[in-house]
Structure 1
Amino acid sequence: MDSTAAWAALLRVHAALMPVLDQELQAAHGLPLTWYDVLLELNAAPGRRLTMSALGAAAVVSRSRVSRVVDELVRAGLVEREANPDDRRSAYAKLTPSGRSRLRAASPTYVAGIERHFTGRMTRTEAQAVATALGKVLRAHEASTVVPLEPRR
């Protein structure tokens, strides 16, 4: 296997499965996958809220799109914006009770879709190997993208 085969397979699987999972969530719950992802990150966050920059870093949706997705979620009543008292330039996105309820309702569909289209196509050992390998790559990337300190003056 050449050195780019794993990368090519990852890209193809992502491109093939993301629209399928999105379609399943929308058909069953009227919830786009991008919305689900943001709701999932907010639900896991302390106080069920994140600054927009932290949400952009955590969510699978691109940082440039996260603000638009949050705007859509606010209009749908699933998220609210909350002022950040420590930094007037930033705001929190906070999960509403309605947002949490929609996330909980959609979760079985999301998990079943992952099982049906992804992990269900592998042995348990293969799935663990994929998770381990991708986790290793992600940790190395995160360690290399630490924000540098400001230069001394």
Structure 2
Amino acid sequence: MNDPGDPLEPHELRAWMAFLAAGHLIDYEIERQLKRDGGLSHPEFEVLVGLSLAEGNRLRMSDLARVVMVSKSRLTYQVTQLERDGFVKRTENESDRRSVWAELTEEGAAALARVRPGHRRVVREALIEVLAPEEIDLLGDALGRVAERLRQR
């Protein structure tokens, strides 16, 4: 087994560079589509999706930060932008004055509904249609393990 500080083997470097390129290019395509179809950034879209999946379409800000995997300060910025556009509203948590709820508004749900078909199309065209079904399963398993390892840090 190699020492973690050793240079990457050629096949490891190839996998890493392909992962970076694919991730950046897919993110670029998604960002373009979201801006075109709904004026949203990718992080704003992720916040709206996170809220749409939550019970009552709302989450404590700290829980939402974990769901969308961003820092609390970055989430605060995103929610402020979404609140300005009327897509999210913040309210005090009556049972815990130290926390704040973020809630998806009707306007936010409508914005999400506008961009979701295009988002799905981009994901399918950029990733799903390029891979064989067994590769999709393999990719999901492999990246799931990577995400789990990083969540444990």
Specify the TM-score bucket, using the shorter chain as the normaliser.
Answer: 0.7 to 0.9
**Is contact 2:86-2:105 (8 Å) kept?**
yes
Distance apart, 1:19 and its partner CA: 1.6
Stretches of structure 1 that go unaligned for 5 or more consecutive residues are 146-153
Distance in 1 between residues matched to 2:104 and 2:50, nearest whole Å: 9
Q: Over residues 60-93 of structure 1, what are the superposed CA-to-partner deviations in whole Å (9 max), with x where a residue is unaligned?
A: 5554311111001001110000111232122011
Name 1:79's counterpart in structure 2: 88
**Is contact 2:37-2:114 (8 Å) kept?**
no
Q: Over residues 5-61 of structure 1, what are the superposed CA-to-partner deviations in whole Å (9 max), with x where a residue is unaligned?
A: 433322221112212211111112222222111100000011111111111111155
Aligned residues: percent identity? 30
**Counterpart residue identity of residue 112, structure 1:** R
Name 1:148's counterpart in structure 2: none
Name 1:26's counterpart in structure 2: 35
Q: 1:117 to 1:82 in 2, by over 3 A?
A: same
2:102 aligned with 1:93: yes
Name 2:149's counterpart in structure 1: 140
Aligned partner of residue 35 in structure 1, secondary structure: helix
CA RMSD in angstroms comes to: 1.8
1:9 to 14, 18, 23: 18
Instruction: Identify which of structures 1 and 2 has the higher relative contact order when contacts are C-alpha pairs closer than 8 Å and 6+ apart.
Output: 2
Give the TM-score of the pair, scaled to structure 2: 0.84
Distance in 1 between residues matched to 2:49 and 2:124, nearest whole Å: 18
**Counterpart residue identity of residue 140, structure 2:** A
Give the TM-score of the pair, scaled to structure 1: 0.84
Distance apart, 1:110 and its partner CA: 0.4
**Is contact 1:40-1:103 (8 Å) kept?**
yes
Name 1:45's counterpart in structure 2: 54
Stretches of structure 2 that go unaligned for 5 or more consecutive residues are 1-9
Aligned residues: 144
Distance in 1 between residues matched to 2:50 and 2:20, nearest whole Å: 23
Aligned partner of residue 113 in structure 2, secondary structure: helix
**Is contact 2:33-2:118 (8 Å) kept?**
yes
2:142 aligned with 1:126: no
Q: 1:20 to 1:104 in 2, by over 3 A?
A: same
Q: 1:23 to 1:124 in 2, by over 3 A?
A: same
